[in-house]
Amino acid sequence: MKKVVLFSIYCLISFCFLFAKTISTIIIDPGHGGKDPGALGKTTQEKEINLELALNLQENLLSLMPEKQVLLTRDSDIYITLKDRVKVIEKYKDSIFISLHANSSTYTSATGYEIFYSKKLTKNKELALTLLEKIESDFPSLRNRGLKNGNLFVLENSDVPSVLIEIGFISNENEEKLISSSEFLLKLSQTISKALSFYCSKEEESR
Give tens-digit pLDDT for 135-146.
999 999 999 999
Q: In the predicted model, what is the mean pLDDT of residues 70-77? A: 98
Number of domains comprising the chain: 1
In a domain, 7, yes or no: no
In a domain, 5, yes or no: no
pLDDT by residue (tens digit) across 31-41?
999 999 999 99
- Is 154's pLDDT higher than 90? yes
116 Cβ contact partners less than 8 Å away, ≥ 6 residues apart: 128, 147, 148, 149, 150, 152, 155, 163, 164, 165, 166
Tell me what pLDDT residue 85 has. 98
In a domain, 3, yes or no: no
Q: What is the CATH number of the domain that holds 49?
A: 3.40.630.40
In a domain, 42, yes or no: yes
Backbone angles phi, psi at 135, to 5 degrees: -65, -40
- Residue 179 structural domain: 23-103+110-205
**Mean pLDDT, the chain, whole residue set:** 91
pLDDT by residue (tens digit) across 99-133?
999 999 999 999 999 999 999 999 999 999 999 99
Which amino acid would we find at residue 195?
A: A
Contact 133, 197 (CB under 8 A): no
Tell me what pLDDT residue 10 has. 41
Beta-carbon count within 10 A of 153 CB: 12
In a domain, 34, yes or no: yes
Tell me what pLDDT residue 20 has. 44
In a domain, 53, yes or no: yes
The larger pLDDT score, comparing residue 173 to residue 3, is at 173
pTM of the complete model: 0.89
- Is 68's pLDDT higher than 80? yes
In a domain, 14, yes or no: no
Measured CA to CA, the distance from residue 152 to residue 49 in angstroms comes to 20
In a domain, 193, yes or no: yes
